[in-house]
Chains A and B, each alone.
Chain A
Amino acid sequence: MAIHRVRRPRNFSLTLGILSLSLVPFGLTAGGCQGVNATQRAEPRAEINEIDVEKLNYDGTLNLRAAVIRLNERTLDNGFLQVQAEIRNRTLERQVVNYRFDWIDESGMQVKTSLSNWKTLSLSAKENRLISAVAPTPDAVDFRLSLVEPKGTW
């Protein structure tokens, strides 16, 4: 794809600038920039088994709005894998995302389960939220976490 630079007339830029500036306060108020202030222990006692991740970000816009910033896991006493993800709203507006965990067994096959369904998450401005999921069988050794924007925002 070739990108060409187009010289715009001065008036056009000025109009666009004024229009953009006038929309800023509207966007802030209509979008509802209700932020979250959180407090936590400076030196966390929890021993987190963090997972190295590979991100496949096909939707750059979504990634700018909300993203997974940390993943950790543990194996429960009954052998089921439990995964926890921390999702961050990177914007100053409320963001709603749908997420889903898919589970994969040792041979790389998908574990079909009703536990793999879309769930909705509503994040305040700059909020970090923890979500978790339990594998449907002890055979599930891997997982994939998918994020998608709700249909109304497409």
Chain B
Amino acid sequence: MLTATPRFLTTTAAALSIAALLVGCSNVDNTGARRIDPKGNETITTLDALDIQDATDAAGTMSESLLASGILGRNGKPSVIAIDRYVNSTTKQIDRDKVIKKIRVTLNKAGVAQTMTTIDSRGELGGESNIATRQQRQRNEDARVEGFLNDTNVNVRTPVPDYALTYKILEDRAGADGGFLSKNVKQTTYTFQMTLTDVNTGLAVWEDETQITKQGKQNTVGW
């Protein structure tokens, strides 16, 4: 039989343990809105969507692979890349730039690549920068007029990139309804595939793939 003092101690210890389990190391209240670090591990993890941490992770892996390959920025000069076809084979609308922009920023800051913003994914003049595209069109038109007036053959040539980056996202879903612990467990895998093609040769000079798999029963805060 427990004496009074040990009983008090055990009760206190049990209460403290339960409190510690409930509170954990976290000293924040999840009920009120607050700003969190988007690069930290307090962000919400969903089961059926591409979260910001997933996009950052995929972009980081691909960027590292590109940097390690040493293909871009040879001879100390940044390579010129253009963003080619983007295929989203998932069930959700995912903006192309959710991943691609992060890769572009990383490569640009690394000094190994610059992205052409006056060419669209079909290789036509046009793209992100309206002003730069307009200027390029104007230069092309001026060259044509000059050629016509001088009766010379002017070969108007729109600047071409060194490399084209194609990108695809795939999604696989699975579910398990097994034993007590695995009842209603869902799993989603996002596969990111990228290819860097040498525009002059048509050869894929770099290719890589990375996957992000999430498993659970419901969305959670933190990961």
Binding site for B on A (CB under 8 A): 6, 8-9, 11-12, 76-78, 80, 82, 98, 113-120, 133-138, 148, 150-152, 154
> Is B111 touching A137 in the complex (CB atoms < 8 A)?
yes
State whether the Cβ of B1 lies closer than 8 Å to any Cβ in chain A: yes
- Which residues of chain B from 1 to 15 have a CB within 8 Å of any chain A CB? 1-3, 6, 9-10
Set of chain B residues within 8 Å of A82, measured between Cβ atoms: 68
State whether the Cβ of B138 lies closer than 8 Å to any Cβ in chain A: no
Set of chain A residues within 8 Å of B56, measured between Cβ atoms: 114, 117
Count: A-B pairs, CB below 8 Å: 84
B146 to chain A, nearest CB (A): 41
> Is A136 touching B223 in the complex (CB atoms < 8 A)?
no
Closest residue of chain A to B72 (Cβ to Cβ) is: A78
Set of chain B residues within 8 Å of A151, measured between Cβ atoms: 26, 41-42, 221-223
> Is A114 touching B67 in the complex (CB atoms < 8 A)?
no
Q: How far is the CA of A53 from the CA of B25 in the complex (A)?
A: 28
Partner of A119 from the list B6, B26, B57 (CB cut-off 8 Å) is B57
A interface footprint on B91-130 (CB within 8 Å = 1, 0 otherwise)? 0000000000010011001111000000000000000000
Set of chain A residues within 8 Å of B57, measured between Cβ atoms: 117, 119
Partner of B10 from the list A12, A98, A137 (CB cut-off 8 Å) is A12
17 chain-A/chain-B pairs, Cβ below 8 angstroms: A8-B6, A9-B1, A9-B3, A12-B10, A82-B68, A114-B60, A117-B53, A119-B60, A136-B106, A136-B109, A136-B110, A137-B111, A150-B41, A151-B41, A152-B222, A154-B24, A154-B25
